[in-house]
Amino acid sequence: MGIGKNWTKEEEEYLAEKWGTVSVGAIAKKLGRSENAIIVRKERLGLGAFLESGEYITWNKLSLALGKGTVSAYCMTSWVKNRDFPVHTKRVKQNTYKVVYLDEWWAWAEKNRDILDFSTFEENVLGKEPEWVKEKRKHDIEKKQKYITTPWTEAEDRKLARLVAKQQYTYDDLSKMLRRTNGAIQRRLCDLQIKDRPVKADNHTRWTEEDFEHLGELIKAGYGYDLMAERIGKSSKACRGRVYQMYLTENLDKVREIIGTGKFGDNRPERKIKQWNVMNTEERIEAKDELTKLVAVLQWRFKQQINETEWGEFFQKDMCENFGSSCLQTERCDYCTNFKRIQPQNCKMCGKTFWEKKENLYCSTCRDMRKKQWLRKRFVMGGKNGRN
């Protein structure tokens, strides 16, 4: 089988496409040739060993190149599961490897550059790099030289607690003293369960158009909040607040994707009513108008609903504890001055809040469920007694 049989162009293309993806035995079965013939043809085509190809790299080698050592469970969850990292499974004979195509890697890295650290990533270790990588590496090296990323020591913990207790320093002041980022300081205060917090920075200076333009350029260049704050002359918290106010997210990768080639403020997402605090004046006026229209429609609909029910004119009588025998204004609820609202109760089973005049441990839904459970139990026990 296969001896003296010439290879067609389609067969060679199939072999080149599937080499490393499908086992040698499967390729041989598909093409109707022996495994030895497949290996010989692979050598003649110059395919070489799969893992030596310049188009892809193993997952472990990529992790080593990034300075992370072996692949961690965090990367598998944070990158692959949560951020759709393009990892593939390839086979070489009987072995299976996780590999990454370099073009897919660079496309993914550009969209998620904020979580990557290129300070220890050797230049051109994966071949020619995109233009943005050089700028990103420079920022990461600057950040690494400026801030400490090693675990906190006991001496640093004591110094942090002492400085915060003085109530004299802001987050930026502490960041300069301890060489830690603002986020690292905030997390450490929570971990140590320190109740004191740094004093608030004076952020009452107005943002100018030049500041916003500079902020947009720094975001597109790949800067982090701490370095951006130094360049603009604002606190990192103020920069985060402005970014969130404009794009409803602090994730710089998402913001960078939204801005695209534009400037800060372009492609601003539409606000919802619950995001009232981050609306501008025009959006608030428009939202008020829409809410006014909605209230008018609901009032009209509510009046129609009242007229169709037995409540009649006095629809709040069922919410009054005094309605009934002790009520003196049964026929004139609008003029009653003794209205007493029914007190809310909490269901012991589901925790739901409900309103009933009679005191109950369970809401109506849980009472029905307990009744059904009791009936089923009674039926089962009755059946067992009957069999006995």
pTM as predicted = 0.53
Interacting residues of 227 by C-beta distance below 8 A, sequence separation 6+ = 139, 142, 143, 146, 218
Q: How confident is the model at residue 377 (pLDDT cuts 50, 70, 90)?
A: confident
Spans of all domains in the chain = 9-48, 56-122+129-145, 148-191, 209-269, 270-302, 309-342, 344-388
Across the range 79-94, mean pLDDT stands at 76
Helices 35-45, 24-31: axis angle to 10 degrees equals 100
Where in the chain does DSSP place strands (E)? Answer: 56-58, 88-92, 95-101, 344-346, 353-355
pLDDT in the model for residue 163: 92
Give tens-digit pLDDT for 270-286: 888 888 888 888 888 88
pLDDT in the model for residue 311: 46
Is residue 51 over pLDDT 60? no
Give tens-digit pLDDT for 309-358: 444 445 566 677 777 666 765 566 656 667 777 788 888 888 888 888 78
Is residue 70 over pLDDT 70? no
pLDDT in the model for residue 152: 92
pLDDT in the model for residue 1: 43
The answer to whether 353 and 344 are in contact (CB under 8 A) is: yes
